Structure 1
Amino acid sequence: MTDFLEIERRLGANTYKPLDVVLTEGRGVWVTDVDGNRYLDCLAAYSAVNQGHCHPKILAALTRQAGRLALTSRAFRNDQLALFYEDLARLTKSHKVLPMNSGAEAVETAIKAVRKWAYQVKGVPRDRAEIIVCADNFHGRTLGIISFSTDPGSRDEFGPFLPGFRIVPFGDADALQAAITPNTAAFLVEPIQGEAGVIIPPAGYLARARALCTANTIMLILDEIQTGLGRTGRLLAEEHEGIEADLTLVGKALGGGFYPVSAVLSNSDVLGLLQPGQHGSTFGGNPLACAVARASLRVLVEEGMIENAAAMGTRFLSHLQNLEGNIVREVRGRGLMLAVELHPEAGGARRYVEALRKRGLLAKETHDHIIRFAPPLVITADEVDWAAERIASVLH
């Protein structure tokens, strides 16, 4: 393992602070390192591996399609794209689909699309459109996206930034209402703020945001890149409040842990305005990505992973709630998107994450004092109990 770490430090850009574990194999919720040690993965690649590592049916779709046709660009059509549109639109009840690769690309696409809608449909003066976003958001790390980040680490020394954004507190519907102007094109929000530490808004917040957007002719954009595709115990987190976004952003688990796939899902009013040459991606909608995504969606539904996330999330949360005390300040969660926030005097979350690694469980700290737990949705009750025992032994 030491050789791998030395090469990374010598040749790689220092943009991450990973745990010193070098993984070489994964199956389901379990991963193995180069020294043969086995771990329960409680991060699932930030929800990109919802279906579990190396799911055999997704792997079969990948290898089958890779042996037939992998990439055409969008200059030509392929026989997987239309089927991908059909599967994803049927499942999510969307009218239009625009495939991209990364989650950040989906966010950038949505920003472009709603600005165009604002000028062509709402009548906002050219180059005056505004998008309302939330403090402590995380939508990616492109230059456009960090223009409305409130995280100094994401922004410092990367300016000048893209204008046209208003920032309001997350979960505060009154602040959202006060920020709306005639030039407001959209409200972009995560149903649950994942990177911020699994921050769940007050009940009714998203429903009121939906009502405000409707009343003021504003597009509601829900970034479901982490919360979507089963993570919270529903297909989409918006379902918890019975609402529908105008644009929904999905990614991560759409690729089943094998391939980067993202998509912007929309009503026809927004994506229907885009014309050839105004947006695109060489790899977006390629046949390999579409075949993988179709298989990823299929197993998610057919194997009951969404329902399992709800049941196992309740079980896991119950275990974690028993930890509240001298070290643990608060426990939060919905489905299998969970977090434990530690008291500041606990000495930071990293030391406990390292201790969990030594006990065979991989998790990740965020914002110094928070540990996130988000295992693949295929986790069993026995595996939840096994994980909870190790967490309790560290956070006692």
Structure 2
Amino acid sequence: MSTKRHSAFTIIELLVVVSIIALLVGILLPAIGRARDQAKATMSAANLRNLGTAHGSYAAEWADRQFTLVNDGIGEYGDNTAEAFLAYFEQHGGDGMSATHPGPIFGWAHLNADPSEPMVLYGFHTHEDDAEGFGGYSVANASMNLPINFGAIITHFGSFRLGNCRQFGQYVSDKFYDPVFYAPKDRIVVDTIEGGGFDGRNCFNDPGEYCPRPIIPSVGDIPVWTSYVLSPAGMLSPQVLARDDPDDPSSNGFQDPWSLKAGFRSPSFSQCLYPSLKTQVLEHHWLQNTQVDCSPAFSDGTYSGCEPYYFNHAWESSPITLFYDGHVESIGVRNAMRADGRMQAQTGWGLWSRDTPFGEDGYLIDLGYDQAATSFHVLTTDGIRGRDILAD
């Protein structure tokens, strides 16, 4: 009687199978990672399209004007932030919150997120006390109303970073921490929101208009800034970042907005000469083709000691961008630099202004990851009437 022999894998066959599986995993994992990365980029582009719709709604309600937080004629009250906002307060009665220049509003919430505490209106009020009520004059808070500060306390910062404050955010939703204001790939920022509220709560899930956060010792009582920033150049009068054209006596380069009667008046959308070439809103941090997360150049980063590199800090950066004509695309830093070089060769001035108080360093170029050197979007020459890229 013969015995039936059962077949089995040999060691060599098992090794072959394992090798094939390892090869497939090696092929599929990067593909899955790329697909996940692309999905996040697609979501960010969708966020920007939604924001573009909101900007259109804002313009429809405000006679084609752009989002702004500052009184059109604030320059008539003084020659600088400290003087002007205090003079505004005094000339409007000098008594109580109603006399102050309105500041960026975040929304209503219980003080310190404690239900036993009263509801307060969180924001950067020009006069406030520790409980978000009326108090002493704060130049830093007043500065938040300006599109960008070329000096003083919060240099390089301003309302171009506050696109989710209530004055504009109401055209999107009634929540400061609405996910549409945050790019999925902005993980350091998103993680801070998801666990940064009092008692580690997720501020995306907070039902209120605003979700208060504990005071950060090195930074202060600040919200988590939106991932998307407007073009401060487009928010200022075109005269502020005017080109220095020797053939045009009316165009002599940068002018301090405080020296102009309407330097801070937000231009209308119709003033944009190149809507398909002028950026309106883009991802502020280096999110596309990222090599590292945190920049060691910032001593006290905003997010638990970390400050991400900005969109203009690396050759490989390619921020997803909303243009004034409503289309969305990625703009490579390399492409922006090449376009700027072409413009300089043809005209003598570049696509971004180098004669502001920031000089050649522009928008914190000196803190970059590599030799990328551009301040497109932030310091666009001629402001809303200029271009950030050139047509092919």
Alignment TM-score, normalising by the size of structure 1 = 0.27
Greater per-residue strand proportion: 1
Greater per-residue helix proportion: 1
Whose Rg is larger?
Answer: 2
Q: Which has the higher contact order (CA 8 A, sep 6+)?
A: 1
Alignment TM-score, normalising by the size of structure 2 = 0.27
